[in-house]
Amino acid sequence: MQDYSDATLYQLTLQLAQALQSKGLRLVTAESCTGGWLAKCCTDLPGSSTWFEGGIVSYSNQIKQQHLDVKLSTLEQFGAVSEQTVIEMATGAVNNFDADIAVAISGIAGPDGGSAEKPVGTVCFAWADKQSAFCNTFLLRGNREFIRRQAVFIALDGLVKKLASTEYYA
């Protein structure tokens, strides 16, 4: 079973910091269901201002539209918890802020708010840079805190893997 402890999140954030610094890149986060937890992990590290531009907690659809360029039509057609929305969140973040890479998270952490189509634990992620974006959706299990903790882990892990990819060029 995967370890989602604070120590693991800290180690992943250290890996991310090292990868960003080695490439001279800056990160921005666009979070919904994690409520800034990912940004907190980044700013827990001393010196994070050299690689972390900042983050936006876009809990409401209005904030997603105004600050991340998520289209109303996307929200109406697919909903806030969708791959289409997180791609627009991530690309909006990387384009609207002084950053090279972004991650976006939107999900249903519960305990309510789920549906048959999108049950509690559905969390969508997107990782973007100036050239491309990719996304993934996970069905996470556990209570609200554990779903959010897993989401932070997945976001960090995805960033580390993206930066380690031989296909990634700044």
Q: Which domains does the chain have, with CATH numbers?
A: 6-164 (3.90.950.20)
Q: Please report the pLDDT score of residue 19 as a whole number.
A: 96
In this predicted model, what pLDDT tens digit does every residue of 53-112 receive, in sequence order?
999 999 999 999 999 999 999 999 999 999 999 999 999 999 999 999 999 999 999 999
CA 15 to chain centre: 16
In this predicted model, what pLDDT tens digit does every residue of 136-164 receive, in sequence order?
999 999 999 999 999 999 999 999 999 99
CA 110 to chain centre: 18
How open is the CA angle 25-29-32, to the nearest 5 degrees?
A: 170
Q: Residue 16 above 70 pLDDT?
A: yes
21-47: average pLDDT: 97
CA 108 to chain centre: 14
Q: Residue 165 above 90 pLDDT?
A: no
Q: Please report the pLDDT score of residue 1 as a whole number.
A: 76
Q: Please report the pLDDT score of residue 169 as a whole number.
A: 46
DSSP per-residue letters across 72-131: HHHHHHH-SSSHHHHHHHHHHHHHHTT-SEEEEEEE--SSS---SSS-TTEEEEEEEESS
Helix (H, G, I), strand (E, B) or coil at 156: helix
Q: Please report the pLDDT score of residue 46 as a whole number.
A: 97
Tokens of 127: 């990782």
Q: Please report the pLDDT score of residue 170 as a whole number.
A: 45
How do strand 133-139 and strand 122-129 relate by DSSP bridges? antiparallel
Neighbours of 98 (CB within 10 A): 9
Task: Answer whether the bond into residue 119 is a cis peptide, omega within 30°.
Answer: no
In this predicted model, what pLDDT tens digit does every residue of 112-142 receive, in sequence order?
999 999 999 999 999 999 999 999 999 999 9
